[in-house]
Amino acid sequence: MEYIDKSTFQAFENRKRARFINSLSGFKSANLIGTKDQNGLSNLSIISSAVHLGASPALIGIIFRPDVSPRHTLENIRQTKVCTLNHVNESIIKKAHQTSARYPKDISEFKACDLTEQYLEDHHAPFVKESAIKLALRLVREVPIEENGTQFLIMSIEGVYLPKEILQEDGFVNIEMAQTICVSGLDSYHTTEKKGRLNYAKPDKSPFYIT
Amino acid sequence: MEYIDKSTFQAFENRKRARFINSLSGFKSANLIGTKDQNGLSNLSIISSAVHLGASPALIGIIFRPDVSPRHTLENIRQTKVCTLNHVNESIIKKAHQTSARYPKDISEFKACDLTEQYLEDHHAPFVKESAIKLALRLVREVPIEENGTQFLIMSIEGVYLPKEILQEDGFVNIEMAQTICVSGLDSYHTTEKKGRLNYAKPDKSPFYIT
């Protein structure tokens, strides 16, 4: 076991430190955020910082670094207050990753990365047709994280699209069945293999798999 | 494809809605938070809400619901300003899950769930011996999320323990090699299978796997 103290990793070259620290929180969600600005220009951006915030009300948190690629996405959300969140699945990993390239503002990553814009119900922002699980989100509040200049966006879930067969009776959504993948670090993509769901834990009971 | 709008999922029974919404952000990290209060009593709690916040300074965000099981953990962090974050790996899934049971304050989940307290360097909080990747964290700031009564804790990374062989030359940490697992929803545990790491994306280049 190796110990890497703060002064050691702070002295890492910038890219190396970014790769290192990015790996440490564990596996991360992989989503594509779809937006459309006031002039009708769409934008698509991969993000690994979407996190469950609460079920009642239904909230998702997303961390944005304003200085890097999802910059246009953040501007669009500020303008229109809405975006979509689309799970990255196994068949679109490369296309999804490519949305992280710094395209000029007037180029839509949908077109540049060969992913399909989809408009559903009366939601303003575009969904990704190739994604099996898609959420419509609305901005609730933007929390500035002064410690590093990032923004923590609190978003409410306004609607959910998903294949009928992955929604179980008790509310659990089998995202693995929809081939949703996960990320580690800046650039490593992983499929998953289910071990099982565990029972609701109680002090006087031993844990066991329910499925 | 099924559409579940806001009013539909808001009308779900509480547990069902919690299972449903918890699944929607994608895969989540699985960590054990170790703390020790001022009287020397240790506490251990599984959490799926740790998220990468930034590499410079090295920050991790953790969302706490004060009303449920990691309640003692939050109290201990407020008292002592520190905790440890330990990756859950395949061999300790059941024990890690069992820490979510509501044990009384005077019972240490380390003992109750058969995991081993480990004290390293001069870090006050206990690490989990069975975890391969362990972080020492210090509280920077607590951000109240008034929308649902949760707390978003901004924590700085003070030190990192990991097996030497999983740290790659360029800074990437192969957490899959350390058998770190991920979670979906409230109770579903998954191992991972690496597809590969993709190149740094550029507009004029097609994406390709570098490893």
B150 near A152, Cβ under 8 Å? no
What are the C-alpha distances in Å from B78 to residues B101, B106, B138?
Answer: 21, 18, 10
Q: A30, B25: Cβ pair inside 8 Å?
A: no
Chain A residues lying within 8 Å of B98, measured CB to CB: 201, 206-207
Contacts 24+ apart (CB under 8 A), B138-143: B138/B81, B138/B82, B139/B77, B139/B78, B139/B81, B139/B82, B139/B83, B140/A147, B140/B59, B141/A147, B142/B78, B143/A143, B143/A145, B143/A152
A31 near B58, Cβ under 8 Å? no
Q: How far apart are CA A40 and CA A80, in angstroms?
A: 11
Paired tokens of A148 = 């590093």
Q: B159, A5: Cβ pair inside 8 Å?
A: yes
B136 near B123, Cβ under 8 Å? yes
A108 near A44, Cβ under 8 Å? yes
Query: For the stretch A155-181, what's the b/e string if a residue is b when 16 or more beta carbons lie within 10 angstroms of its beta carbon?
Result: bbbbbbbbeeebbbeebbbbbbebbbb
In this complex, the residue of A21, A173, A188 whose CB is nearest that of residue B58 is A21
Cα dihedral sign, A79-A80-A84-A85 = positive
* For residue B69, pLDDT beyond 60: no
In this complex, the residue of B15, B57, B97 whose CB is nearest that of residue A207 is B97
Q: Using CB atoms within 10 Å of the CB of residue B4, give its burial: 0 to 12 exposed, 13 to 18 middle, 19+ buried.
A: middle
- Give the strand pairing for B58-64 and B50-55: antiparallel
A interface test, pick of B14, B25, B140 with most A CB neighbours within 10 Å: B25
Least confidently predicted of A156-170, B58-72, B101-115, B170-184: B58-72
Q: How far is A148 from chain B (nearest CA, A)?
A: 7
What residues does A89 pair with on adjacent strands? A180
ipTM over 0.90: yes
- What are the pLDDT digits (tens) for B96-144? 999 999 999 899 999 999 999 999 999 999 999 999 999 999 999 999 9
pLDDT classification of A211: cutoffs 50, 70, 90: confident
Q: B140, A147: Cβ pair inside 8 Å?
A: yes
Q: A58, B17: Cβ pair inside 8 Å?
A: yes
In this predicted structure, what is the pLDDT of residue A111?
A: 97
Rounded to 5 degrees, φ, ψ at A93 are: -55, -50
The distance from CA B114 to its chain's CA centroid, rounded to whole angstroms, is: 19
Q: Minimal Cα distance from B199: which residue of A?
A: A187
Nearest to A4 by CA among B57, B83, B53, B134: B134
Q: A4, B158: Cβ pair inside 8 Å?
A: no
Paired tokens of A95 = 């296309």
Q: Minimal Cα distance from B140: which residue of A?
A: A147
Q: HSE of B157 in the Cβ direction (CA atoms, 13 Å)?
A: 35
- What are the pLDDT digits (tens) for A109-144? 999 999 999 999 999 999 999 999 999 999 999 999
Q: B172, A188: Cβ pair inside 8 Å?
A: yes
Q: How far apart are CA A170 and CA A52, in angstroms?
A: 19
Paired tokens of A97 = 């990753």
In this predicted structure, what is the pLDDT of residue A65?
A: 86
Q: Minimal Cα distance from A1: which residue of B?
A: B163
Chain B residues lying within 8 Å of A85, measured CB to CB: 25
Q: How far is A32 from chain B (nearest CA, A)?
A: 11
> Residue B168: how many CB atoms within 10 A of its CB?
17
Residues 6 or more apart whose CB falls under 8 angstroms from that of B161 comprise A1, A2, A3, A4, B120, B127, B133, B134, B135
Q: How far apart are CA A117 and CA A109, in angstroms?
A: 10
